[in-house]
Amino acid sequence: MKISARNVLKGTVVSVEKGATTSHVKIEISPGQMVTASITNEAVESLKLVAGGPAYAVVKASDVMVAVD
């Protein structure tokens, strides 16, 4: 796999919680450290994501949010 994103975290799928149109996929990237992604149900099926399977969390920020008190 070649990808332009620099933040690629290898891990194991812990759970896939399907909703009406999107799923929440939890990936354990190190013991006790989770990353959760919201992706379409179609993507879950296409990638064949199941608990216990390998997966990568790819993080690419396209927006920066600024806040003040």
d(CA 4, CA 61): 12
**pLDDT one-digit tens code per residue, 17-67:** 999 999 999 999 999 999 999 999 999 999 999 999 999 999 887 666 778
pLDDT, residue 64, reads 65
Region label for 32, one of left (φ > 0), alpha (ψ between -120 and 50) or beta (otherwise): left
What is the arrangement of strands in the sheet containing 33-40, beginning at the earlier edge strand? 33-40, 22-30, 7-18, 54-59
